[in-house]
Structure 1
Amino acid sequence: MSEVLACIDGSTATPAVCDYAVWASQRLQTSLTFLHVVDQTQYPQRSDLSGIIGLGTREHLLEELASADQQHSKQVLEQSNQILEAAQTRAVQAGISAPLIRQGHCNLVKSLGALEDSIRLLVLARHSATNDNVAEHVGSQLLNVVRTLQRPTLITCGDFIAPQNYLFAYDGSFTARKALQMVASNPLLAGLPCHLLMVGSDEAACKVLLNEAAEMIKPSASEVTIIWREADIEPSIRAYQLQQKIDLLVMGAYGHSRIHQFLLGSTTSQLIASSTSPLLILR
């Protein structure tokens, strides 16, 4: 696992994905690769139309249809190249010496699966209803990517803002402790203030776990703030993000806990949709 891999699609979210990927690459001091997937279901393929009644004797019409298909496919591939080259130029201007570009030719999940062993951090966008309609397959497959890949995933939303702090949603589970250890031993968030938030009915028990977590993250964070809330998880996270102007939300995914049920249940998409800041999901 050696590279930051940024999935781009040419939508209005692409500049932010590029900039967050550059930021992560520089923080991790690792290589950066941009991936654009040309999903072949998104454009027509050359077809055998000779069986359609009346077309079998019209050789010139069949040739014209095939030529039109080929021309459209060529245009789609050229557009993909332009998207990748623009991202590469943007990264170079931001200080990345040799960003790489890749083009995928199946769906996003399969394309990423083939590259998974080389990924240290995956960066891709959350699309909203207000985004343009250019190649929104990245957004539409986001949940499948998060569930399938076993790699840390940074989900962007809105414009790029270099994180100055982060909120870690903690539940005391084995998965949460492992995720916190990953953060503590990783340069990505080193030196930033950490807010540890836990939701539960027993304040005393939660604060014991939060204090233990604070000791784990103190060597990495510039300062640590612990927060206990009794309310439901999603509203508590969203409210605290807004109140404290949190730049990045961090969570360990798929633990055996309320967070586990929250992430795997029907509200998974609500978490991604409601976050007011980018979301880093650790596997």
Structure 2
Amino acid sequence: MKQIIACIDGSPLTEQVLNATEWLAKKTEAPVTLLHALEKANSQTHDLSGTIGFSSREHLLSELTELDEKRAKLALEHGRLLLDGAQAHLQQNGVSATPLQRHGDFVATLSDLEQDARAFIVGKQGTEHCQQHVIGSNLEHAARTLSQPILVIPSEFSAPSSFMVAFDGRETSIKALEKIANSPLLKDIPCHLVMVKRDKSGQQETLDKAKSKLVDLGFNVTGHLIEGENIQSTLLSFQQQHKIDLIAMGAYAHSKVRQFFVGSNTTKMLTESTVPVLILR
């Protein structure tokens, strides 16, 4: 059976990731794996041959190597303690979980596990960030690389009482809609299907067809064709005005080269959103 993989790193968002994991596990009845990925730390060793004598240099390199080994052991033990605490936290709330510790690049680790993953849960920022409107260095890479859903958790998480689908009629948003339609996760929660009006004909018809598809499957859906100059800020303003608890959206419809010139609504939404974002590809 495919797993919910919850990624924890000891950052301030770890507790919120666990709260989201509990909600997702109970909604889907899927098993949970708690993942702690240990990425290789940068070595502090430098070439000092031009500044100190050979024997002194060898002694210093030996001490630096020992220090790196101690850091690695401490990081390993810290990860084990994190996993033990997270497992106990979920167990107290009625969710069993399997701990998993891996060494290596974070996104590569997720890619290795993707075949057995139903969804990934990650914090918006890792231990290296603390600002609200910043995303972790691995998050955009993961969103571009992984095909399974990713639930991105900001500073707070509570079970959503409504959700919004950011819909534009393109392939990525159609695929996102199909994944929502085929999952029990959001079926009993009111849905706002939102499209920002552009200078195109047929948008209302496209929106109505998408809404009908969800309604036919038992979703409670309200469609909205709204006006705004900037897609990302218009969608986030709508979410805030209607007090919507979760945003679902497709990710990265264009290449990285094009996004360099025109920007990416996906990255902007992830950066600016104060509610969880469910990325569907």
TM-score, normalised to structure 1, is: 0.84
Whether contact under 8 Å (1:116, 1:149) holds in the other structure is yes
Q: Which runs of 5 or more structure 2 residues have no equivalent in the other structure?
A: none
Alpha-carbon distance between aligned partners in 2 of 1:66 and 1:120, rounded to the nearest angstrom? 40
Q: 1:165 to 1:263 in 2, by over 3 A?
A: farther
2:242 is aligned to: 244
What are the equivalent positions in structure 2 for 1:134-283 lying under 5 Å apart?
Answer: 139-201=136-198, 205-220=202-217, 222-231=219-228, 232-255=230-253, 266-267=263-264, 268-283=266-281
Q: State the Cα deviation string for residues 107-152 of structure 1 (Å, max 9, x = none).
A: 111111111111110110112999549xxxx921110010011111
Q: Which residue of structure 1 lines up, in the alignment, with residue 12 of structure 2?
A: 12
Report deviation, 1:106: 1.0
- Displacement, 1:101? 1.2
Q: Deviations over 1:173-207 (max 9, x none)?
A: 23322321211120111111000101123687322
Conserved in 2, the CA contact under 8 Å of 1:143 and 1:269?
A: yes
Aligned residue type for 2:147:
Q
- % identical aligned pairs: 36
Mapped contact 2:166–2:193 kept (Cα < 8 A):
yes
- One-letter code of the match for 2:84? E
What do residues 226-250 of structure 1 show as CA deviations (whole Å, max 9, x unaligned)? 1111212111111111001111101
Match of 2:35 in 1: 35
Aligned residues, how many?
274
How far off its partner does 1:65 sit?
4.4
- Of 106, 122, 125, 1:124 maps to 122
Q: CA RMSD in A?
A: 3.2
Amino acid in structure 2 at the alignment position of 1:8? I
| Structure 2 contact 232–269 (Cα < 8 Å) conserved | yes
One-letter code aligned to 1:38: L
Structure 1: gaps spanning 5 or more residues: none
Q: How does 1:95-114 map to 2 (within 5 A)?
A: 95-97=94-96, 99-114=97-112
For structure 1, which segment, 165-174 or 234-243, has the greater mean C-alpha deviation from structure 2 after superposition? 165-174
Query: When the two structures are superposed, what TM-score results if normalisation uses the length of structure 2?
Result: 0.85
In the TM superposition, what is the alpha-carbon distance from 1:157 to its structure 2 partner?
Answer: 0.6
CA positional deviation for 1:266: 2.7
Q: 1:56 to 1:124 in 2, by over 3 A?
A: same
